[in-house]
Chain A
Amino acid sequence: MLAPEPVRRRDGRTSLALAGAAILVAGLGLAGWAFTTDVVVTFVRMVLLAAGILLAITGLGRLFRGLLGRKVDVVFWLGMAWLVLVLGAALCAPLLPLGNHDDSVAGLTEPIFARPDLGSSHPFGTNNYGLDVLSRAVYGARTSILVALLAVLIGTVVGGLVGMVSGFVRGTTDRVVGILSNALLAVPPLILLIALGSVLEPSVRSIAFALSLLTIPSMVRLARANTITVAEREFVLAARALGAGRVRLLRREVLPNVVLPVLSLAVVMISVLVVAEASLSFLGIGIEQPEPTWGNMIAEGQSGVMEKHPFIVVVPGVCLFLTVFSFNLLGEKAQKRWDPRSAKL
Chain B
Amino acid sequence: MMTPSDGPLLVVDDLHTVFHTPRGEVRAVDGVSFQVAAGETLGLVGESGSGKSVLGRTVMGLIATGPATTVSGQVLLDGRDVHALKPGQRRQLWGPEIGMVFQDPMTSLNPVKRVGTHLTETLRRHLHCSRKEATERAVDLLNQVGIPEPVRRLTQYPHELSGGMRQRVVIATALACDPRLLIADEPTTALDVTVQKQILDLLASLVSERTMAMILISHDLGAVAGRTDRVQVMYAGRTVEAGPTRTVFDSPDHPYTDALLASIPQLSDQPHTVLRTIEGNPPDMTRPPRGCRFGPRCGRADDTCTDLMPALVAVPDGPARQVACHHPLLSIESLEPNAPLTEAGHGR
Q: Say whether A305 faces chain B, with CB atoms less than 8 Å apart.
A: no
A244, B125: Cβ atoms closer than 8 Å:
yes
Binding site for A on B (CB under 8 A): 60, 62, 88, 91-96, 98-100, 102-104, 107-113, 121-122, 125-126, 159, 170, 173-174, 176-177
- For window 235-285 of chain A, which residues contact chain B by CB distance below 8 Å? 235, 237-245, 248, 252-253, 256-257
A256, B94: Cβ atoms closer than 8 Å:
no
Task: Please pick, from A234, A240, A252, the residue contacting B121 in the complex, using a CB distance under 8 A.
Answer: A252
Offer 17 A-B interface pairs, CB within 8 angstroms, sorted by A. Answer: A234-B102, A234-B103, A234-B108, A235-B111, A237-B108, A238-B102, A238-B108, A238-B173, A240-B94, A241-B60, A241-B99, A241-B100, A243-B93, A243-B96, A253-B110, A257-B110, A345-B111
Closest to B122 in A: A242
Q: Say whether A175 faces chain B, with CB atoms less than 8 Å apart.
A: no
Question: Chain B CB within 10 Å — which of A238, A248, A256 has the most?
Answer: A238
CB contacts (< 8 Å) of B95 on chain A: these are 241-243
Given contacts A237-B102, A252-B121, A256-B113, contact A242 B173 (CB under 8 A): yes
Q: Say whether A9 faces chain B, with CB atoms less than 8 Å apart.
A: no
Sample of 15 further A-B pairs with CB below 8 A, known A241-B174, A252-B110, A257-B111: A235-B107, A237-B62, A238-B102, A238-B109, A239-B110, A240-B62, A242-B174, A242-B177, A243-B93, A243-B94, A243-B95, A245-B88, A252-B121, A256-B110, A257-B110
CB contacts (< 8 Å) of B92 on chain A: these are 243
Binding site for B on A (CB under 8 A): 233-235, 237-245, 248, 252-253, 256-257, 345
**Complex CA distance for A235 and B176, rounded to whole angstroms:** 16
Given contacts A235-B108, A241-B60, contact A252 B113 (CB under 8 A): yes
- Pair count A-B, CB < 8 A: 68
B109, A235: Cβ atoms closer than 8 Å:
yes
Closest to B100 in A: A241
CB contacts (< 8 Å) of B111 on chain A: these are 235, 257, 345
**Complex CA distance for A238 and B184, rounded to whole angstroms:** 12
CB contacts (< 8 Å) of B102 on chain A: these are 234, 237-238, 241
B104, A234: Cβ atoms closer than 8 Å:
yes
CB contacts (< 8 Å) of A242 on chain B: these are 94-95, 99, 122, 125, 173-174, 176-177
A257, B112: Cβ atoms closer than 8 Å:
yes
CB contacts (< 8 Å) of B91 on chain A: these are 243, 245
**Complex CA distance for A240 and B60, rounded to whole angstroms:** 11
**Complex CA distance for A237 and B126, rounded to whole angstroms:** 17
**Complex CA distance for A178 and B191, rounded to whole angstroms:** 41
- In the A-B complex, the 8 residue pairs with the closest CB atoms: A234-B107, A243-B95, A243-B94, A345-B111, A241-B100, A256-B112, A238-B108, A235-B110
Task: Please pick, from A238, A257, A345, the residue contacting B100 in the complex, using a CB distance under 8 A.
Answer: A238
Closest to A240 in B: B62
CB contacts (< 8 Å) of A240 on chain B: these are 62, 94
**Complex CA distance for A233 and B113, rounded to whole angstroms:** 14
Closest to B88 in A: A245
Separation in Å of the A175 CB from the closest CB of chain B?
15
CB contacts (< 8 Å) of A257 on chain B: these are 110-112
Separation in Å of the B94 CB from the closest CB of chain A?
4
Closest to A259 in B: B112
Closest to B97 in A: A243
Task: Please pick, from A233, A241, A345, the residue contacting B94 in the complex, using a CB distance under 8 A.
Answer: A241
A243, B112: Cβ atoms closer than 8 Å:
no
CB contacts (< 8 Å) of B104 on chain A: these are 234
**Complex CA distance for A245 and B89, rounded to whole angstroms:** 11
CB contacts (< 8 Å) of A237 on chain B: these are 62, 102, 108
**Complex CA distance for A239 and B102, rounded to whole angstroms:** 11
Question: Chain A CB within 10 Å — which of B92, B94, B98, B110 has the most?
Answer: B110
CB contacts (< 8 Å) of A239 on chain B: these are 110
Closest to B126 in A: A243
Question: Chain B CB within 10 Å — which of A241, A256, A345 has the most?
Answer: A241
CB contacts (< 8 Å) of A245 on chain B: these are 88, 91
**Complex CA distance for A244 and B100, rounded to whole angstroms:** 13
Separation in Å of the B218 CB from the closest CB of chain A?
17
**Complex CA distance for A238 and B171, rounded to whole angstroms:** 11
**Complex CA distance for A311 and B199, rounded to whole angstroms:** 73
Closest to B110 in A: A235
CB contacts (< 8 Å) of B99 on chain A: these are 241-242
Closest to B60 in A: A241
Separation in Å of the A164 CB from the closest CB of chain B?
15
**Complex CA distance for A108 and B5, rounded to whole angstroms:** 94
Task: Please pick, from B103, B125, B159, the residue contacting A243 in the complex, using a CB distance under 8 A.
Answer: B125
**Complex CA distance for A238 and B98, rounded to whole angstroms:** 12
A241, B62: Cβ atoms closer than 8 Å:
yes
Closest to A245 in B: B91
CB contacts (< 8 Å) of B103 on chain A: these are 234
Separation in Å of the A262 CB from the closest CB of chain B?
14
**Complex CA distance for A240 and B110, rounded to whole angstroms:** 12
**Complex CA distance for A302 and B17, rounded to whole angstroms:** 72
Separation in Å of the B52 CB from the closest CB of chain A?
15
Task: Please pick, from B100, B107, B125, B170, the residue contacting A233 in the complex, using a CB distance under 8 A.
Answer: B107
Separation in Å of the B203 CB from the closest CB of chain A?
16
**Complex CA distance for A257 and B174, rounded to whole angstroms:** 22
CB contacts (< 8 Å) of B60 on chain A: these are 241
Separation in Å of the B268 CB from the closest CB of chain A?
37
CB contacts (< 8 Å) of B109 on chain A: these are 235, 238
Separation in Å of the A60 CB from the closest CB of chain B?
37
A345, B107: Cβ atoms closer than 8 Å:
no
Separation in Å of the B124 CB from the closest CB of chain A?
11
CB contacts (< 8 Å) of B173 on chain A: these are 238, 242
Question: Chain A CB within 10 Å — which of B62, B98, B111, B170 has the most?
Answer: B111
Separation in Å of the B59 CB from the closest CB of chain A?
12
